[in-house]
Structure 1
Amino acid sequence: MADTQVPRTPGFDLKAVNQTVIAEYRATGGVLEKTLPGSRLVLLTTIGRHSGKEHVTPLGYVAEAPTPDAGPATDGSTTADGSTTADSSTTVSSGTAGEGSSTGEGDQPAAAGGSGVDARRSDRLVVFASNMASSRHPDWYLNLTANPKVVVELGHERVDAEATTATADERVRLYAALVETMPGIRGHQDQVDREIPVVVLALLR
């Protein structure tokens, strides 16, 4: 899929787009043929930091190799920039000031890629909280900083997970893997003053 960023045009309803992506994802077990052909996403459920309600966001991701010392492998697949209609780790999401829509709200409409590692065999997935290179963190990220207990839907599998923000050398390593897999997000960090969070989702299988 080409690296294209979804424009923030008047009347563009990202929440509606996310809802459509989520519906197809759940109906097909993650095989997107109508909304985002060729994209590989996960659905991330966070708990609203104010409402206490569940919010679902489609996100692009990188899966880490199952061995402790191996870094994330990539297969060169592209995904839109974490913001395209997908973000390396973020894929679809709105960057509104709310807590996140029930249909998703991460970083862009979703168009994301995975990695050369089979995510079903990995216990760590990595996503990117770009929010379409917005000056503020996406709501899904703010939600998980308040409550790191999340749920990840990977194909037909639904798994509890714990989210942490990568720091120091780990962030450098994981960020490089994200950019390699999703070139569309490469320039996002340079466009904002905030450090865009690299989030690790530890699957509790």
Structure 2
Amino acid sequence: MSVGKRATRPWLPPRWFIRLAWSVHRGLYRVFRGRVGLWRPRANGWGALRLTTTGRRSGQQRSVILGYFEDGPNLVTLAMNGWGAGEPAWWLNLQTHPDATVDLVDGQRPVRGRAATGDERSRLWARWGEIDTNLDGYAALRSSETAVVVLEPRPGASDTLPGN
């Protein structure tokens, strides 16, 4: 941000509303059996995927719908917890059990999740900033750095990727 510009705090709806919106989105996905709720990234935009992780304590499958963009064969998302404090449970699960699956409009992919670091994180964060111009303002609402999560095709699973 340049000197002389005032930082404006981005507006977020109340936490209860964010949680309700997530529940409705998941419900629509379930009711329509995956035909509604996921989409490909639009030009200079983001898409929606369904990530299924293994619970770090329960060992049970846990699913969440996330925004993403494509970076070559990788899918990139943010561990933002609705811009609230703390890490989202899916990210904690992925750190313990990095192998997961994603459902996309064109099918399911086995992936391995990891945090982007260094130059890669900077590059991917900047790309998110092109998609969401308020990204830095939202990130400033959090007490810790927001992880940029890279979902890479799982080694040995390339034959299951859509289009192959």
Q: Shorter chain as normaliser: what TM range?
A: 0.7 to 0.9
Q: Percent identity?
A: 30
**What amino acid is aligned across from residue 61 of structure 2 in structure 1?**
E
In structure 1, what is the equivalent of residue 63 of structure 2?
56
Give the Å deviation of 1:192.
Answer: 2.0
- 2:128 corresponds to which residue? 178
Deviations 1:149-187 (A, max 9, x none): 010111141010000101111111101111211334331
Is 1:46 matched up with 2:53?
A: yes
- 1:39, distance to aligned residue in structure 2 (A): 7.2
Q: What is the TM-score when the length of structure 2 is the normalising length? A: 0.74
- The answer to whether the Cα contact below 8 Å between 1:165 and 1:198 also exists between their aligned partners in 2 is yes
Q: Larger radius of gyration, structure 1 or 2?
A: 2
Distance, in Å, in 1 between the alignment partners of 2:13 and 2:87 is 18
The 3 A distance-change label for structure 1 pair 16 and 154 is: same
Distance (Å, rounded) in 2 between the aligned partners of 1:29 and 1:193: 30
**Residues 75 and 151 in structure 2, CA contact (< 8 A), matched pair in contact too:** yes
Deviation at 1:28, TM superposition (A): 4.2
| CA distance in structure 1 between the partners assigned to 2:24 and 2:37 by the alignment | 18
Q: CA deviation at 1:9?
A: 3.5
Normalized per residue, the structure richer in helix is 2
Give the distance between the partners of 1:49 and 1:25, measured in 2 at CA: 26
When the two chains are superposed, the root-mean-square deviation of aligned CA atoms in Å is 2.8
Tell me the CA shift for residue 17 of structure 1.
2.0
Which residue number in structure 2 is paired with residue 30 of structure 1? 38
Extract unaligned runs of 5+ from structure 2: 1-9, 159-164
Q: Deviations over 1:19-54 (max 9, x none)?
A: 22432471248359xxxxx97301111111111111
- Residue 171 of structure 1 aligns with an amino acid whose one-letter code is R
Q: Which runs of 4+ in 1 moved over 6 A?
A: none
- Structure 1: how far apart are the matches of 2:128 and 2:69? 6
